[in-house]
Structure 1
Amino acid sequence: MTPLMQDTLVWAPLGGMIAVGALALRYRKKAAEYCRHDGMVEAQAADAEQDVAARDEEAQHLAESRLPALVDALRHGTGDAAGDLLHPQLAGTPTGRAYLSVLEQVNALTVHASEQAEGAARAAVQAVTRSVQALVHEQQTAITHLLATEYDERLLELVQPIDHTASQLARRLQILGVLAGLWPGRQREDAPLLETVRGGVSRIRDFHRVQVPNESAHYVAGRYVEPVVLAMAELLDNAARHSAPSTPVAVSFLEARHGISIQIHDAGPGMRPEAREEAVRRLSGQYPVRLTELRTPPSFGHLGVGALAAQYGFSAAVDEEHSVYGGVRAVLYLPRELLADPPSTEGHEPLVPKQSAPSRGPARNALLP
């Protein structure tokens, strides 16, 4: 055997072993790649399951939490309070954008429906208020004519309570109309502050309990006379209704540098903190009045005063710290811009006599209907 044949016989098995090893190594690499691929597939499947679970939880969170929170916030006028995503990683994704679109559409539809309902309620209240005001005006005109043409004391005694009740009804209609967006309905000439306050006194049930100062040199500008009369009447009525019938309601004037304060003191039990906070909020006039959101039964007094204050530039407040009777002090502050210069005294007749009203009924004066 030649050396060449011997080398061939020696290297042939080695070459086969090398080829088999290379092939095994290749298959081993392939197997490892397949294992890695299977791991990636399993990881991707797990991520997909987590993503689906997150989207399902987000949908449930939208239905059970975010949408009810948004509707409740819109109902109470506190703005968009729908809350955030349960899974922040969904923000900016098609799912997150879709859910945000749902909330925006619900918000827009709810606001639109609320505005439509409020507009319909205001239109209805305005129509009813105008029609009833016309009837009350006719009634008061007839009563005024009767009182002016008949001088029987017995008749006067019987008719004056009817006249006073009609005056209170007219005041309530005016306040309701103000809340519905109507003008108070009267244009006055400049009037003495004292007469303006007495005009408010004459429009409440317990007028005889109110103690008014005997004099004041201030005048209220004509544009503001009726709004101030209405605001005074509501604050006086509130003070009288929340204090014992045997106690007085005192009115006083406090002149300040930039205006004058009309103070109303009652001897009632005071106000709970939450009631006082609500009264301050209503009297501020800073929050729009929505007829569709009034509580049941509705309370118009402080809301009406707040609406008048916001529209005509005066302010109203309540506190308990400075009440002379230990009850509540209500303050109506009139800036200088709402006051007028007193007219010349030459040839001027006072609009309201200085004597007090008769005990059987309120004094009728130029401010009464």
Structure 2
Amino acid sequence: MSTLIHDIALMAVPSGVALGAGAVAVHYRRRAIERLAAVRQLESRVCDGEQRVEARDEEARHLAEHRLPALITALSCGDADGYRDVGLLHPSLAASPTGVAHQAVLDQVSVLVHEASERAEGAASAAVQAVVRSLQALINEQQVAVTALQDLRSDEDTLAITIPIDHASSQLARRAQIVGILTGMWPGRQRADTPLQETVRGGVSRIRDYLRVEISGEPTSYVAGRVVEPVVLAAAELLDNAARHSEPGTKVYVWFLEAHNGISIIIEDAGIGLSPEERERAARLLSGQDPVRITELRNPPRFGFLAIGQLAARYGFHVSVEQQSVHGGVRAVLHLPRALLVAPPPPASPSANGSQEAATSPDHPYPVAEDGLPMRRPKRGARVQPGAPATSSPPPDAGRHLAAFIRGNDSARIPSTDQEQTP
């Protein structure tokens, strides 16, 4: 208003009408300039707003097409530690409500996917454990039946039929044990201290191509009872892997190397070997450091190295594979530290004919007959009445039947839970 009054005052100056008209023109020109500046300011604000809206739209598309899929893929593959968020397309929006909201979405999705993965893993592990337990029960029944048949009839024809069945059952039992170990179950058998060579032979007996395995060396150390079954399973998996990945006509060699810190079981084959990538992956699996998740196994799954790694980490031995075999294949090393080994038991004090002396010694209350049954001796001073019927001797195979009965009772007392028993 003051500008307009000033312009009117200029029009009242007696210098002429032209001067007044010029003043009016100046006033309206100034007003036009001011309005033009306001319009341009509004246009700039509109343009800036449109750019911000476009940036937020781009961030929304980037979130839906890249950031969320990358996060879900990493979580579903179990690679949450290796996941790196690519971040915003427009870093200037990081502290804005849009950036904060997008990060909240990622965090919520991460929590939901993790919870869903844990539920799926728990359900899968429970289902696998239920199947393994039912299989183990059936396998045990089959092995007991085969043992009973072998005890009843030990002729060559019967053995020719039952031995392959028993061998197949032992392999099936091993596979069930391996799958169970991946779900956290313990091996399921408690052993006594066992010579190292017999422990390795136990692993040999549980693979299909056991005739191809050649063992050299006679170590004198014993394996502690609590780790006998885990070592048997680990050795069996290594031997089976060596046999399956080498030519059928070749041998798998096993020998022992005693060192200051323990004893190593060395397994060599003449197979195709391992590539650097396969060797690196094998080392990672055999370390047992990564948790095993049933829902994240490869297709087809490979259980052997995974289970060996879990056994090694749980019981304290070490397994490695290297492409150093002199035969061009793979050398696997299972190292047992001294803490897992025990000294051989002292030799028995009785002489070799101790059983015969016990059978004839008058101080032994129950002498033992040749068939394994105790034999009662008449009391001192007792006489056999004339005409009394002679006592009939037991059948020749009664001792073997009794031993089978005892073995059956002992096997029935093996704990069937998946809680590890300690001596």
**Matched residues, number:** 341
Q: Which residue of 2 aligns with 1:212?
A: 215
Distance (whole Å) between structure 1 residues aligned to residue 77 and residue 259 of structure 2: 38
Q: Which residue of 2 aligns with 1:176?
A: 179
Aligned to 1:13, what secondary structure does the other structure show? coil
Task: Provide, for residues 2-43 of structure 1, a one-character-per-residue CA deviation record: whole Å limited to 9, x for no partner.
Answer: xxxxxxxxx951599888777766655544333322222111
Q: Which residue of 1 aligns with 2:86?
A: 83
Distance (whole Å) between structure 2 residues aligned to residue 198 and residue 347 of structure 1: 28
The alpha-carbon distance between structure 1 residues 29 and 263, as it changes in their structure 2 partners (threshold 3 A), is same
Contact 2:78–2:296, Cα closer than 8 Å, also in 1: no
Contact 2:265–2:335, Cα closer than 8 Å, also in 1: yes
Contact 2:136–2:176, Cα closer than 8 Å, also in 1: yes
Question: Does residue 236 in structure 1 map to residue 269 in structure 2?
Answer: no
Q: Which residue of 2 aligns with 1:337?
A: 339
The alpha-carbon distance between structure 1 residues 257 and 21, as it changes in their structure 2 partners (threshold 3 A), is farther
Structure with the larger RCO, 1 or 2 (CA within 8 Å, 6+ apart): 1
Contact 1:243–1:269, Cα closer than 8 Å, also in 2: yes
* Coordinate RMSD, CA, aligned: 2.4
Q: CA deviation at 1:99?
A: 1.2
Distance (whole Å) between structure 2 residues aligned to residue 88 and residue 284 of structure 1: 41
Distance (whole Å) between structure 1 residues aligned to residue 290 and residue 307 of structure 2: 12
Kindly provide the amino acid, as one letter, of the partner of residue 50 in structure 1.
Answer: Q
Q: Which residue of 1 aligns with 2:37?
A: 36
Aligned to 1:58, what secondary structure does the other structure show? helix
Deviates more, 1:201-210 or 1:284-293: 284-293
Q: CA deviation at 1:237?
A: 0.4
Kindly provide the amino acid, as one letter, of the partner of residue 184 in structure 1.
Answer: P
Q: Which residue of 1 aligns with 2:303?
A: 300
Task: Provide, for residues 327-366 of structure 1, a one-character-per-residue CA deviation record: whole Å limited to 9, x for no partner.
Answer: 11111111222112222123499xxxxxxxxxxxxxxxx9
Distance (whole Å) between structure 1 residues aligned to residue 306 and residue 175 of structure 2: 12
Contact 2:288–2:313, Cα closer than 8 Å, also in 1: yes
Deviates more, 1:149-158 or 1:128-137: 149-158
TM-score w.r.t. length of structure 2: 0.75
Kindly provide the amino acid, as one letter, of the partner of residue 215 in structure 1.
Answer: E
Contact 2:217–2:256, Cα closer than 8 Å, also in 1: no
Quick one: which of 280, 288, 292 aligns to 1:289?
Answer: 292
Q: Which residue of 2 aligns with 1:4?
A: none
Aligned to 2:247, what secondary structure does the other structure show? coil
Q: CA deviation at 1:81?
A: 3.5
1:1-369 correspondence runs (5 A): 12-14=13-15, 27-79=28-80, 80-320=83-323, 322-347=324-349
Kindly provide the amino acid, as one letter, of the partner of residue 165 in structure 1.
Answer: A
Distance (whole Å) between structure 1 residues aligned to residue 104 and residue 333 of structure 2: 48
Aligned to 2:14, what secondary structure does the other structure show? helix
Q: CA deviation at 1:214?
A: 3.9
Task: Provide, for residues 245-285 of structure 1, a one-character-per-residue CA deviation record: whole Å limited to 9, x for no partner.
Answer: 11110111122222221110001121233332322222121
Kindly provide the amino acid, as one letter, of the partner of residue 339 in structure 1.
Answer: L
Q: CA deviation at 1:216?
A: 0.4
Distance (whole Å) between structure 2 residues aligned to residue 18 and residue 312 of structure 1: 108
Contact 2:224–2:341, Cα closer than 8 Å, also in 1: yes
Contact 2:204–2:236, Cα closer than 8 Å, also in 1: yes
Contact 1:129–1:176, Cα closer than 8 Å, also in 2: yes
Distance (whole Å) between structure 1 residues aligned to residue 123 and residue 16 of structure 2: 98
Distance (whole Å) between structure 1 residues aligned to residue 104 and residue 228 of structure 2: 51
Task: Provide, for residues 303-329 of structure 1, a one-character-per-residue CA deviation record: whole Å limited to 9, x for no partner.
Answer: 111111111111211111x21211111
The alpha-carbon distance between structure 1 residues 348 and 215, as it changes in their structure 2 partners (threshold 3 A), is farther
Kindly provide the amino acid, as one letter, of the partner of residue 77 in structure 1.
Answer: G
Task: Provide, for residues 137-180 of structure 1, a one-character-per-residue CA deviation record: whole Å limited to 9, x for no partner.
Answer: 11111222222342212211221111101000000000010011
Task: Provide, for residues 29-85 of structure 1, a one-character-per-residue CA deviation record: whole Å limited to 9, x for no partner.
Answer: 544333322222111111111111111111111111111111111122221434211
Larger CA Rg, structure 1 vs 2: 2
Unaligned stretches of 5+ residues in structure 2:
1-11, 352-406, 415-423
Task: Provide, for residues 185-241 of structure 1, a one-character-per-residue CA deviation record: whole Å limited to 9, x for no partner.
Answer: 011121111111111111111111111124101111111111010000000000001
Q: CA deviation at 1:97?
A: 1.2
Aligned to 2:334, what secondary structure does the other structure show? strand
Distance (whole Å) between structure 2 residues aligned to residue 327 and residue 83 of structure 1: 43
The alpha-carbon distance between structure 1 residues 18 and 167, as it changes in their structure 2 partners (threshold 3 A), is same
Kindly provide the amino acid, as one letter, of the partner of residue 127 in structure 2.
Answer: A
Distance (whole Å) between structure 1 residues aligned to residue 95 and residue 119 of structure 2: 33
TM-score w.r.t. length of structure 1: 0.86
Contact 1:271–1:328, Cα closer than 8 Å, also in 2: yes
Contact 1:67–1:82, Cα closer than 8 Å, also in 2: no
